[in-house]
Chain A
């Protein structure tokens, strides 16, 4: 317990230490480039993402179209920049949404003894389903849209966050600084935020990174299976899904968005691993 408390205490300078690790730094740099490219899409993109050109459909990579064109003659590089916006936004939104659910469930189960049993049962039950099956079922029930994909994936990833937060909360709840706050008569909601939540940010950060990576993959997976975001909206996933139909003639249609996903996910993993290694390995066991 003391070791966990120590690990939680070492957190304030964790980001600067992360940059000091070569693999993490590579991850951070790649992510920064991808994020900047997506963010600055309107300024970088050589074409309009929806500009059709039947004359130049299914062109391979060439000077005019670095990553080639798709079945409707649209520039793949341009579309990938815009698709990155959606994919990263969906990934980030999933992290935020699952964090909200995970924090509420984890804090409740970890802090209030009486609620631990029922909430933990709920968490276990949610985790009993295979991720992708649960996501498919939820999207099928809610209807296919970007918002519903976020909701579905948020629900899918929330329980593992809840578990990690519960585990940390169980430790922090017993620490004297929480008791000191209680002795002062600080209201419980304030204690939960100021003393507990603020000290679970490190495991939250680690988990959030992995969920980000998983969500980008899962969004692509749902699109690929045809149950995700509509193919009209460019995401890396929908681009692969459409590209699959032209796999034989225009492999670049799948290759480049696929590479973007792999690169992003790998970079997130590098950062996540770095974060995890900087924390107590005992904390990492749950992850």
Chain B
């Protein structure tokens, strides 16, 4: 995948495109057992790459399998198939014991700031648990390190002795970030880290993540259902629907020239931060179908304004359309606007 050649010239973010691939997801699949012996197709044959130092956005409506994809990569749920090649090693082929050695290199920040911190533990103990995981020695240095981490995420060292319920949602999210950073990870999954926060504090937490990502050289998988957030933060974007990848590519390309009808619909319903940009309005009707019985062929066809009978026959292949952009739609040739 060579995204560099076609990046738009006015881009402000430093391009990580020349960096080596840190994480390569190949055919990631996760099925959950559903009621009555049926199968929940939460994630189906998802592939994408994350270059070192890059931020990749994973977007899609609620229920499209973003969280499950993120959890599978970290093996917080056992994947049903595929590979996650991290720094040359397929994480999915590791035994649980071997995986533990990798855990501190990949961390996660959760969506819900209220249930992501143990209510019975003080902040020092919560971060201390992460320091333990990294093998940080006990003693005076440890308190200093906790203070350092709290400062890093914009909190005060005094906060260490408090309990989670004494903090606001935004502060809790900062504590969650500090915990993840305590093990000095290379890769972080941020699962909708601001969607549960007040709008007024969302930007602060996003800025914090963005700054930390740059200053610490983190690689990030940023999950969101809000496309404007992703546009601001991400180098690449992967659009998921009902467990599958619909479209992916460099953010700027996907935002400027979306090729998949689903991406177009998502962009049409998203608030447009840049009023000069024109977007064709394609309304997204109805609800996302059940992953227990996904539509045959293209999973988006039940809601797609361009659907043809042929769309029901085969799962559309993910095809390169140039500039590092990939689309899973049999009509992608007609959708270039």
Contacts and interface: CB of A to CB of B under 8 A. Distances in A.
Interface of A: 2, 5, 8-9, 11-12, 175-177, 179-186, 194-195, 198-199
A177 B120 CA distance: 11
Nearest to A196: B118
Contact of A180 (B101, B111, B163, B176): B176
A183 B74 contact: yes
B214 interface: no
Contacts of A181: 129
Nearest to B71: A179
Contacts, number: 67
Given A183-B74, A183-B106, 15 more contacts: A8-B119, A9-B119, A12-B119, A176-B110, A176-B116, A179-B110, A180-B108, A182-B76, A183-B76, A185-B101, A185-B104, A186-B133, A194-B118, A199-B118, A199-B120
A127 B108 CA distance: 42
Contacts of A194: 118, 121, 129
Interface in B180-213: 183
Contact of B133 (A175, A179, A185): A185
A179 B76 contact: yes
Interface in B102-157: 103-104, 106-108, 110-112, 114-121, 129-130, 132-133
Contact of B129 (A5, A9, A175, A184): A184
5 contacts: A176-B112, A180-B108, A181-B129, A184-B179, A199-B120
A8 B108 CA distance: 24
Nearest to A183: B108
Interface in B67-90: 71, 74, 76
A179 to B, nearest CB: 5
A12 to B, nearest CB: 7
A184 B120 contact: no
Interface of B: 71, 74, 76, 100-101, 103-104, 106-108, 110-112, 114-121, 129-130, 132-133, 163, 165, 176, 179, 183
Contacts of B133: 184-186
A183 B107 contact: yes
B165 A9 contact: yes
Nearest to B107: A183
A211 B110 CA distance: 39
A2 B111 CA distance: 14
A59 B106 CA distance: 79
A245 B120 CA distance: 53
Given A184-B183, A185-B103, A186-B133, A177 B116 contact: yes
A237 B163 CA distance: 45
Contacts of B108: 179-180, 183
A17 to B, nearest CB: 14
Nearest to B116: A176
A184 B104 contact: yes
Ranked nearest first, the 4 interchain pairs of A and B with the lowest CB-CB distance are: A185-B103, A176-B116, A184-B133, A9-B119
